Amino acid sequence: MSEAPTGFRPGLEGVPATQSAISNIDGQQGILSYRGYRIEDLAAHSTFLETAYLLIWGELPSAEALREFQHDVQMHRRVSFRIRDMLKCFPSGGHPMDALQSSAASLGLFYSNRALDDENYIRGAVMRVLAKIPTMLAAFHMIRRGQDPIQPRDDLPYASNFLYMLTEREPDPLAARIFDACLVLHAEHTLNASTFSARVTASTLTDPYAVVASAVGTLAGPLHGGANEDVLLMLEEIGSEERVEAYLDEAIASKRKIMGFGHREYKVKDPRATILQGLAETLFSRFGHDRMYDVARRLETLAAEKLGPKGIYPNVDFYSGLVYRKLGIPTDLFTPVFALSRAAGWLAHWKEQLGANRIYRPTQIYTGLETRNWLPTEQRSGHNGEPTG
């Protein structure tokens, strides 16, 4: 038997798996930057599409380049009637994240020519993903409620148009601006599980829609993007500020994780959580308070005492659900909305991966049996279908 490779780190914790110039985290200081720009500046001054451009092409666009990019994305917003028909065949009770994964993958059927070394092809794929994901997601939401999908509105900017397609109402400008800032905050976050998944898929030189679909599937899990949905369910379960301490103590004693807390990279409060908390407060002061915010704040205060010494603080998912709820976004769309935004980061990593590609093919440490002789069924003892462990 060949010698086992050494250096195994479960979850690849701390193992560099790529070189990347797209974003950077300082987990001790709580700093996140995209292409060198602090997340606080981008959330305050940039838009999601401008941020997507920055992530994918490496520089903030000139006014003209931005106008052209916004126009091109807008031109791609509509989806084929075949995609709408496909969405109508999906089970209405299915999770929208599954609908999003399937519809993202289906784009490969509609745009099947693949020219990965052609900048125009790359630009076209970027436009399609950014433009069509919101349309498909909103369409699935309307269809599952028994309504016709709402066509995108060409006169509305990206974030407003998505909220409009979800509700058939033009959103309040403040609500639209805050939603756009949420998209900026979620657009990219170094080599997390879904981005790693995107890069692995990209490294096989498959089409970009498969890259996005694999990343959507990875983001869906409760340890990753799916936590934003669970946070709100947890806050509802706690119910009131008075019950926070008992809930927290019981969770810690039974080693149950508090949703929206903890991060592999941050040992302090996630800077995005701080910004989202501010956005939540702005929304509440304008559109009315949410008493679950009081529960969340109490939980943050008590958890700082009990979990803070282990470096466990609120992550991006802790306050995002409260913001989304105030914006009228249904709970099961929280993670798909995260995906809609993170698509920008996935596309940036797709493009970067193609620029210096080497297929991902890690090795493993085999823990199974040595080679055995095959026996016909009548000579076998043992296994009746139970797991062998």
Binding site residues, ligand ACO, CB under 6 A: 223-225, 227, 255, 257-264, 307, 310, 312, 315-317
DSSP 261: B
Q: Which two tokens stand for residue 359?
A: 């297929």
Taking the C-alpha atoms of residue 352 and residue 202, their distance in angstroms, rounded to an integer, is: 10
The residue whose two tokens read 């838009």 is: 47
Per DSSP, which regions of the chain are E strands?
A: 23-26, 31-34, 37-38
Q: Find the shortest distance in angstroms from Cβ 78 to ligand ACO.
A: 30
Cβ-proximal residues to 122 (8 Å cutoff; 6+ apart), any chain? 116, 208, 351, 354
Nearer to ligand ACO, 114 or 257 (CB): 257
Q: Is 317 a catalytic residue?
A: yes
Residue closer to ligand ACO (CB basis): 69 or 196: 196
Angstrom distance (rounded) from CA 231 to CA 260: 6
Nearest distance from residue 302's CB to ligand ACO, in Å?
Answer: 12
Interatomic CA distance for residues 278 and 235, integer angstroms: 19
The half-sphere exposure of 259 on its side-chain side, counting CA atoms within 13 A, is: 22
Catalytic residue among 180, 230, 317, 349: 317
C-alpha 273/C-alpha 293 separation (Å) is 13
For residue 181, the minimal CB distance to ligand ACO (Å) is: 17
Least distance in angstroms from the C-beta of 336 to ligand ACO:
14
| DSSP summary character for residue 308 | G
Q: Is 257 exposed, middle or buried (0-12, 13-18, 19+ CB in 10 A)?
A: middle
263 among known catalytic residues: yes
**Which C-beta is closer to ligand ACO: that of 94 or that of 311?**
311
Backbone angles phi, psi at 25, to 5 degrees: -120, 135
Residue that has been written with the tokens 């559109």 in this structure: 287
Helix (H) or strand (E) holding 336: helix 334-355
| Closest of 15, 20, 104 to residue 55, by C-alpha | 20
Q: How far is the CB of 27 from ligand ACO (least distance, A)?
A: 11
Closest residue to ligand ACO, based on beta-carbon distance: 262
Q: Which is nearer to ligand ACO, 165 or 259 (CB)?
A: 259
> Out of 141, 263, 270, 349, which one is annotated catalytic?
263
Of the pair 108, 260, the CB lying nearest ligand ACO is at 260
Task: State the first-to-last Cα distance of the chain, in angstroms, to the nearest integer.
Answer: 22
CB nearer to ligand ACO: give 261 or 319: 261
Give the SS3 label for residue 35. Answer: coil
For residue 199, with 0-12 CB atoms within 10 Å meaning exposed, 13-18 middle and 19 or more buried, which class applies? Answer: buried
Query: Shortest Cβ distance from residue 283 to ligand ACO (Å)?
Result: 21
Q: Is the dihedral of CA 181, 187, 193, 194 positive or negative?
A: positive
The least CB distance from residue 313 to ligand ACO, in Å, is 10
Nearer to ligand ACO, 150 or 193 (CB): 193
Active-site amino acid positions: 263, 317
